[in-house]
Amino acid sequence: MKKELLMGTALVSTLGAASVAEAVTATMSGNHQTGLEFDSPTNGTDTNAQTTDNNFTVSLSETTDGGMTISSSFKLLDEDGSAGDMDAGFTLAFTDGSKLDVLNAGNASGSHAVSIPGSAGAEGVDTTSTNAAQTGLDFATDSTKQGFEYHTASDFLADGLKMSFSASTDSGANPLATYRVDSHLAFGATYVTDLGDSSVTVGLGLSEVDGSKDGTAVANDTNGYHIGLSAVTGDLTVAAGYADGDVAGAGLATANEYTGDVTKIGVKYVSGDLTFNVGFAEGSVKDNTIGSSGGADDSKEVTSGSVSYAVAAGVTAMIGYTSMEATDEGSATDDGSAWYIGANMAF
C-alpha cells in the first residue's frame, strides 16, 4: 500500500510538473479608478456621487513551433457582481506581422477610428433615453459574434499604411419583434507619415450591416463611414474627425432608426508630469420609428477638458469638466455640466 501511495504521489508530481512546463503564458493587468462626480443639470437639482471603474484582465498567449502566436483574454467579475468579459475570441499573430481575430472579432471600421482628445475624467451629463444623438466616430460599426477581422502587417502596400477587413455571419436565429444584427462587412485603414516635425496619422473606415426584424422592415440598415486626422508635434497633439451614417435598432427596445453625423476636435498637451486635454464633440441625428420617414432632430454639443498629474508610476490624479447642450425631438433638454476629481491606479 505504501509503495502504491509513493507511486501515485510521484505520478501526480510528474503530471503537475509537465502541466506547468507546457502551460500557456498568462499575464495580468487592470486598473482601479475612483473619484467624486458633481452633476449640475440646468433644470434639476445638483447631485454628487462616488464613481468607480475596476478592471482585472487575464491575457493568455503561446507561440507555436512555426512562430505563430495564439492569444486570448478575459476579464474577471467586478466586486459589485457585474458580468465580466467572458466572450473574447482568439487572435492569431503570424510571422509576417499580420494577424487574424476570430470569434467576436468586432468591426474593422471601428478599429481605425482616430482617437480625439477630450476629458480624461469620469464625469458626464445624462440625457433623456430618447435622445439618439451620438458623439463617437464609430457609432455605425455593429457586428455579430460569428465573425473575424484580418489585420495586415505594417507598411502594407506603402510605408506607414496598415489595413484591416472584417466580416460576420448570421447566428441563424429567427427574426424578432425588435431589430437585430445578422451580418456585416467592414474595411478600415490607418496611414502614418512624417510632415516636417510632426507625425501625422489618418484613419478611416467603411461599414455595411444587414439586420432583420419580424414585421415592419427598416428603411435603412446600419451603415456608415468615418475619417479622422491626428498630428503630434513634440508634446502637442491636435486631432479632428467626422463620421456619418445610418443606424437601425436604436433607442428604447431597439425600435428606432436614425440618420446622423458627428464632428469632433481635440487637443492634448503634455508638460512633464502634467497632461492637459480639451475636446469638443457635436452630434446630430434625425430619428424615426422603424419603417417610417421624416422624424425630428436630436443633438448633443459636448465641451470637455481635464488636467491629469502623474503622482507615481501607474498612479494618476485627475480633474475633469464637461458641459453639454442637448435637444430631443427639436426641444432643448438635459443641458448641464459636471465635474470630476479622482485618481487611477493601473498595473
9 is a domain residue: no
Output DSSP code: residue 254.
G
22 is a domain residue: no
Confidence of residue 249 (pLDDT cuts 50, 70, 90): confident
Q: What is the pTM of this model?
A: 0.84
17 is a domain residue: no
Residue 86: the pLDDT is 52
**Is the pLDDT assigned to residue 314 strictly greater than 70?**
yes
For residue 132, what are the contacts with CB-CB under 8 A and spacing of at least 6? 247, 250, 251, 256, 258, 260, 285, 287, 298
Residue 154: the pLDDT is 94
Distances (CA, A) of 206 to 109, 220, 234, 303: 5, 16, 31, 27
Residue 42: the pLDDT is 86
**Is the pLDDT assigned to residue 90 strictly greater than 50?**
yes
Question: What's the number of domains the chain is made of?
Answer: 1
84 is a domain residue: yes
58 is a domain residue: yes
8 is a domain residue: no
For residues 238 and 328, the model is more confident at 238
Residue 9: the pLDDT is 41
Average pLDDT value for the chain: 87
Total Cβ atoms within 10 A of residue 7? 10
Pair type for strands 147-151 and 336-346: unpaired
3 is a domain residue: no
pLDDT, tens only, 111-156:
999 999 999 999 988 877 778 899 999 999 999 999 999 999 999 9
Confidence of residue 14 (pLDDT cuts 50, 70, 90): very low
3-state SS assignment for residue 214: coil
Residue 16: the pLDDT is 44
Question: What residues make up the domain containing 340?
Answer: 30-346
24 is a domain residue: no
Residue of 47, 54, 243 whose CA lies nearest to 126? 47
CATH number, position 294? 2.40.160.10
pLDDT, tens only, 71-80:
999 887 655 5
Choice among 18-27, 186-195, 260-269, 328-337 with the minimum mean pLDDT: 18-27
3-state SS assignment for residue 273: coil
3-state SS assignment for residue 140: coil
Give the residue-averaged pLDDT of 157-179: 89
Q: What cell was used for 44?
A: 434639476
Choice among 101-115, 184-198, 285-299 with the minimum mean pLDDT: 285-299
For 303-338, the DSSP string reads EEEEEEEEEETTEEEEEEEEEEEEEETTEE---EEE
Q: Angle at Cα 184 formed by Cα 179 and Cα 189, nearest 5°?
A: 135
